[in-house]
Amino acid sequence: MSGPAGWAVVTGASSGIGEHLARGLAARGHGLWLVARSTEALEKLAAELRGRHGVPVHVRTCDLADPAARQVLAEELATEPVSVLCANAGFPTCGPFSENDPAEERAEIQLNVVALHALTQALLPGMLARRRGSVLITGSTAGCQPVPTAATYSATKAFANSFAEALHVELRGTGVSCTLLAPGPVRTNFYAVAGMSGLQDQAFLAWLTPQRVAEAGLRGMARGRRLVVPGPAAKAQYLAGRHTPRPLLFPVLRAVVLPVFRSARGATRTPDFRK
């Protein structure tokens, strides 16, 4: 039994936006497959959601940055009648690119790009055959422009943003939708993972809660929307990042982003972007 609303897969369900996507989907009657690396957090959430909403919840511990583990999971999920995929798991690396750990940079691309691509590819054929399904991809306003000191992260999110919007158009009329959720700053573990906890003290960033972002994403997904950017500040950031000519944008990034980065991270070196 899937729950009255069908099965939903949520990656990155152990915390932050993904946890609240799972909460919102369970409240809407979806059975769940919860995916992340932290088994304990997933099991705790699963027990709570089963008890509170009476839906079935499966836990799949998987390092989605590991191609072999990811393939096993993708093959398993491809045989299930999944009607919702929230491809949400992701993490940032921050700092001057040349100083970042190459293994972490590779894992970031594996997770933020390859895993979301592979899981979507695995689950779409079943959705299309059933003429029913929704894909929600968590991109970011960071994907609207290059972000110095988050070069790899912003590039991975540019992929997520573009991929989701292309699929949205491609899937029209099939009974399956694809929605891009592109948040601005959200208070989650995300910044601690990047060694940037200090950013959370920056009051000028318009912080949203993960509950609000997840709910906005689920509402947009239910309506088959192309794009959800929660909150007015993030909407402004999204538009500015997309449409400001680069010769105007880069001096602003240099003046605003690099000092904020330095104070948040205590960097020893700041790249020179004037060249």
- C-alpha torsion sign, points 186, 17, 89, 103: positive
CB 99 within 8 A of CB 269: yes
Min. distance of Cβ 210 from ligand NAP in angstroms?
Answer: 6
Q: Applying CB under 6 A, which part among 33-41, 74-82, 94-102, 239-247 lies near ligand NAP?
A: 33-41
d(CA 257, CA 270): 11
Question: Could you confirm whether 275 is annotated as catalytic?
Answer: no
CB 137 within 8 A of CB 179: yes
Give the residue with the Cβ less far from ligand NAP, 6 or 139.
139
Which one of 31, 133, 210, 231 is in contact with ligand NAP (CB under 6 A)? 210
Min. distance of Cβ 133 from ligand NAP in angstroms?
Answer: 20
Which one of 18, 24, 217, 220 is in contact with ligand NAP (CB under 6 A)? 18
Question: Could you confirm whether 191 is annotated as catalytic?
Answer: no
d(CA 214, CA 23): 9
Strands (E), 132-258: 133-138, 176-181, 227-228
Give the residue with the Cβ less far from ligand NAP, 185 or 241.
185
Give the residue with the Cβ less far from ligand NAP, 55 or 89.
89
Parallel/antiparallel/unpaired status of strands 57-61 and 82-87: unpaired
**Cβ neighbours of residue 144 under 8 Å, at least 6 residues apart?**
158, 161, 182, 237, 238, 240, 241, 242
CB 143 within 8 A of CB 96: no
Q: Is 214 in the site for ligand NAP (CB under 6 A)?
A: no
Min. distance of Cβ 108 from ligand NAP in angstroms?
Answer: 9
Q: Is 63 in the site for ligand NAP (CB under 6 A)?
A: yes
Min. distance of Cβ 170 from ligand NAP in angstroms?
Answer: 22
Q: Is 196 in the site for ligand NAP (CB under 6 A)?
A: no
Q: Applying CB under 6 A, which part among 21-29, 170-178, 181-189, 261-269 lies near ligand NAP?
A: 181-189
3-state SS assignment for residue 200: helix
Residues at the contact surface with ligand NAP, assessed by CB under 6 A: 12-18, 36-38, 62-65, 88-91, 111, 138, 140, 183, 185-186, 188-190, 193, 210
